[in-house]
Structure 1
Amino acid sequence: MSDWITVPGETASVALALVNSLHAGPNGDIDHLASPEAAASWLRSRGLLQSDTVLREVSSLAQLRAAVRELFLAFLEERDADPAAVDTVNEAAAATPGASSVAWPPTGPVRTWSTIRPGTLAEALAAIAGDAIDVLCTERAATIRVCEAHGCVRVFFREHARRRWCSTTCGDRVRAARHYRSSHS
């Protein structure tokens, strides 16, 4: 994942990170879930899959990614979400029974989620769907933005009122393009 640039909010929201696991690259789309091995690595890097769990398919994860993206965009565009996307998120959230719990590392209390199927893909999907629901139904929803850079499809949490791009890379591209246009017109 060396070409991966984390955007604001991805460390706080696994649902946002999932949406951005498919993004535009210089040579076309980059899909960090393109194979079962890549998807397992992505999930493990976020603590959502046990190291010995082998994924056989990634379609359910890719479907959840598309559904969460649809819900985020529907919220941003102030329109009704596709009912199939709502169903996908709700079904993933309900796929494995669980409960909130608290962990207490040295940094203080952290909300965790425990299920009857720990370390499985079903638990990972439920955790991601639950996070998406939390994002959409809390004050974090008001900070969701789509990067304004041409060709970028990433979504981020706007942590500063003037932020318009998901990363400095996108901001630099926009500024360079604007400079080029002004100096060549």
Structure 2
Amino acid sequence: MSPSPPPTDPEEPGSRLALALAVTIRHDGHGGVADDLRTPDGLTAWVTEHAGALRHALDAREFIADGAALSAVRALREAVRALFARAVRPGPPSRADAHRLLPEPEAVARLNAAAALVPAAPALHWPPGAAAPTAGAAWPPGPPAADRLTAALAHDAIAFLAGPDRARLRACQGPRCVRYFMKDHPRQEWCKPSCGNRARVARHHRRHRAES
């Protein structure tokens, strides 16, 4: 068995940007589903939040999303979530969009087309003081920032789906939760403890009703 790759620096490309993109669709805390990328301002804020992981593709401080950028990233997210649904089989997909997933061949084609928007050369990143280097990409400065953003997200999704982390991807089945997450230990069933607490409470109520 080949050794597992070293963990990625959270500020480096390959740090689960694809997962971060997918979970911009999440539970809203009131029984519904929220979308963090409903508006260009929402996308601008999300890019700013992930500036470190995106820094080789674009300068988040100068990025201001418009409608076209938002549409491109949302279309890519739809493809990523469809492929995440495939990746978690035989487990169930996220309940947020299980009923309207993009057909898998279309999702693959859309992901590849987004990655091809900006050709990026393989690049080694080894900052001073870092124990080990990471593999990334060198992004040309010429293409529009929106294309660089979409391509960078697509490149990360391809690396994630084709890499070993895919096997640990799960859709949380906690009550009302719609998140995808990485299973970090064998007994992990939910994306976070609060989902586990809700699941245990729900099981308790079901048992109580069955016994009454």
Tell me how far apart the structure 2 counterparts of residues 107 and 182 of structure 1 sit (CA, whole Å): 52
TM-score (norm 1): 0.85
Q: 1:126 aligns with which of 126, 145, 151?
A: 151
Tell me how far apart the structure 2 counterparts of residues 176 and 117 of structure 1 sit (CA, whole Å): 52
Deviation of 1:56 after TM superposition, in Å, equals 0.9
Deviations 1:45-83 (A, max 9, x none): 1123521222112111111111001011112236xx621
Within 5 Å, which residues of 2 pair with 1:149-160? Answer: 149-160=174-185
Tell me how far apart the structure 1 counterparts of residues 136 and 41 of structure 2 sit (CA, whole Å): 25
Whether the 8 Å contact between 1:32 and 1:38 is mirrored in structure 2 is yes
For 1:25, the aligned partner's letter is: D
For the pair 1:55 / 2:65, whether they are aligned, the reply is yes
Q: Who is 1:74 aligned against?
A: 86
Tell me how far apart the structure 2 counterparts of residues 72 and 15 of structure 1 sit (CA, whole Å): 10
Tell me how far apart the structure 2 counterparts of residues 99 and 45 of structure 1 sit (CA, whole Å): 25
Q: 1:30 aligns with which of 18, 30, 34?
A: 34
Tell me how far apart the structure 2 counterparts of residues 138 and 112 of structure 1 sit (CA, whole Å): 14
Whether the 8 Å contact between 2:87 and 2:167 is mirrored in structure 1 is no
Deviations 1:150-174 (A, max 9, x none): 3222111111111111111111111
Q: Which moved more, 1:13-22 or 1:92-101?
A: 92-101
For the pair 1:107 / 2:130, whether they are aligned, the reply is yes
Whether the 8 Å contact between 1:16 and 1:156 is mirrored in structure 2 is yes
Tell me how far apart the structure 2 counterparts of residues 32 and 69 of structure 1 sit (CA, whole Å): 15
Structure 1's unaligned 5+ residue stretches are: 1-8
Tell me how far apart the structure 2 counterparts of residues 170 and 107 of structure 1 sit (CA, whole Å): 36
For the residue of structure 2 that corresponds to 1:136, the secondary structure is helix
Q: Who is 1:5 aligned against?
A: none
Q: Who is 2:20 aligned against?
A: 17
What's the C-alpha RMSD, in Å, of the aligned pairs? Answer: 2.1
Q: 1:45 aligns with which of 36, 46, 49?
A: 49
Deviation of 1:14 after TM superposition, in Å, equals 0.3
For the pair 1:87 / 2:112, whether they are aligned, the reply is no
For 1:84, the aligned partner's letter is: E
Please say which structure displays the higher CA radius of gyration: 2
For 1:116, the aligned partner's letter is: P
TM-score (norm 2): 0.75
Structure 2's unaligned 5+ residue stretches are: 1-7, 91-102
For 1:146, the aligned partner's letter is: A
- Number of aligned positions between the proteins: 174
Tell me how far apart the structure 2 counterparts of residues 107 and 72 of structure 1 sit (CA, whole Å): 32
